[in-house]
Structure formats: structure tokens, C-alpha cells
Amino acid sequence: MDGGHARMRRLVGDPLDGLVKCEKWIRDDDDRLEKSKTTSKTAWWLNRLIGQKEEVNFGWPFPFVEGRLFVLTLSAGLEGYHVSVDGRHVTSFPYRTGFVLEDATGLSLNGDLDVHS
């Protein structure tokens, strides 16, 4: 997306350190949002978020745009890793069974990205 907006969907699951395990980006042009011409995006979201009585806004600018810098923060909690982008929590991953945080010796990043520190 060229600096547009995206929406995130919170996936159901047990939280880690009080944070959700995963949130999925849903772009404005996602076909799933066009399920019915009579159903608004808000109504669709409220139906997806079972038990929600009020409108919940998950929209914020999509941070991953070519040529635009973003801050990705990885933190280690008591139960797993947490990932934030530009200060907003995006996802969490539980530690592997038997993993001891002190045993970690490094971090590997792959793909088309430049790291500035």
C-alpha cells in the first residue's frame, strides 16, 4: 500500500504477558471486506468481533511502505516474544517448550531490509 490505511484483526487465543498472540493486517482492498454490498465494513467487523457492542477502530497507517522508515521493537516477556511497530503492539509468539531465554545467543533477520541502529 502506498501509505494508505490498513485494519488489523485480533485473532482469538490465550494472551502472552497480557498481550494478544497475533494481529493480522487487513488492507482496505481486501476482498473479504466486500462480502455483501448491503453490509458496511463496521457491521462486518462487529459481526467478526463476537460480543462487541460498540464500534472498535483498529485502523492506523500501514507502517511498511517502500522508502519509509519504521521502528520495529522486539521484546522478551515472561511468556514469549512481543513485536511492536512504531510503538504499537502487533504480535506475540510463545517461547518454544523447554526454551530458556538466557540460552539465546543471537537474532537473525532475513529478507529485503536494511537495519539502522
Residue 79 within any structural domain of the chain? yes
Full pLDDT tens readout for the chain, 117 residues:
444 444 444 444 667 777 766 555 555 544 444 444 445 666 665 666 655 555 555 556 677 788 888 888 888 888 888 888 888 888 888 888 887 778 878 878 888 777 776
Residue 72 within any structural domain of the chain? yes
Residue 110 within any structural domain of the chain? no
User: What are 6's three cell numbers?
Assistant: 490498513
Per DSSP, helices labelled H in 1-117 are 41-48
pLDDT at residue 3, as a whole number: 46
E-strand stretches of 1-117? 5-10, 23-27, 60-61, 72-76, 80-85, 88-94
DSSP letter for each residue of 77-99: -SSEEEEEETTEEEEEEEPPTT-
Domain extent for 45: 5-99
pLDDT at residue 68, as a whole number: 84
Grid coordinates 453490509 are at which residue?
A: 39
Residue 90 within any structural domain of the chain? yes
Q: Which of these, 81, 41, 75, lies nearest to 58 by C-alpha position?
A: 41
Residue 117 within any structural domain of the chain? no
Counting the structural domains of the chain, the total is 1
